[in-house]
Amino acid sequence: MTRLLKTFSAASLLALGAAVPALAQEVNIYTTREPGLIQPILDAFTAETGIAVNTVFLQDGLIERVSAEGESSPADILMTVDFGALIDLVDAGLTQPVDSDVLEAAVPAALRDPEGNWFALSGRARVLYAANDLDIDSFTYEQLDDEEWRGRLCIRSGQHPYNTAMFAAYMAKYGEEETRTWLEGIKANQARVAAGGDRDGARDIAAGICDIAIGNSYYVGLMTSGAGGEEQQAWSEEMKVILPTFENGGTLVNISGAGLAAHAPNHDEAVQLLEYLVSDEAQKLYAEANFEYPVSASAEVHPIIAAFGDLEADKLSLTEVLPFRTRASELVDEVNFDTFEN
Confidence (pLDDT) at 83: 84
* Contacts with 183 (C-beta within 8 Å, 6 or more apart), sequence order: 145, 158, 167, 331, 332, 335, 337
Judge whether 96 and 261 are in contact, CB under 8 Å. yes
**286 labeled binding residue:** no
Looking only at Cα atoms, what is the longest distance across the chain?
61
pLDDT digits (tens, 9 = 90+) for 230-275: 999 999 999 999 999 999 999 999 899 999 999 999 999 999 999 9
- pLDDT lower than 50: segments of the chain: 1-23
Strands 12-14 and 153-154: unpaired
Distance CA 52, CA 23 (A): 10
Does the predicted TM-score (pTM) go above 0.75? yes
Judge whether 66 and 18 are in contact, CB under 8 Å. no
Confidence (pLDDT) at 164: 94
Q: Buried b / exposed e across 178-214, counting CB within 10 Å, b at 16+?
A: ebeebbbbbbebbbbebebebbbbbbbbbeebbbbbb
**162 labeled binding residue:** no
Multiple choice CATH, 12-123+254-301, 3.40.190.10, 3.30.70.2200, 3.90.79.10, 1.10.3720.10: 3.40.190.10
Which contiguous run of DSSP H or E holds residue 96?
Answer: strand 95-96
pLDDT digits (tens, 9 = 90+) for 311-337: 999 988 888 898 999 999 999 999 999
Judge whether 63 and 261 are in contact, CB under 8 Å. no
Confidence (pLDDT) at 297: 82
Secondary structure class of 292 (helix, strand, coil): coil
Q: Do domains 12-123+254-301 and 124-250+317-334 have the same CATH topology?
A: yes
- Could you give the residue ranges of the DSSP H alpha helices within the chain? 39-49, 62-69, 83-91, 101-106, 161-174, 176-189, 198-206, 217-224, 230-236, 267-277, 280-290, 303-306, 318-321, 325-334
Domain boundaries, the chain: 12-123+254-301, 124-250+317-334
Judge whether 153 and 191 are in contact, CB under 8 Å. yes
Looking at CATH, the fold of the domain delimited by 124-250+317-334 is given as: D-Maltodextrin-Binding Protein; domain 2 (3.40.190)
Which contiguous run of DSSP H or E holds residue 133?
Answer: none
Distance CA 11, CA 7 (A): 14
Strands 212-216 and 26-31: unpaired
Residue 300 C-beta-side C-alpha neighbours within 13 Å:
9
Confidence (pLDDT) at 46: 96
Distance CA 26, CA 270 (A): 8
Confidence (pLDDT) at 111: 87
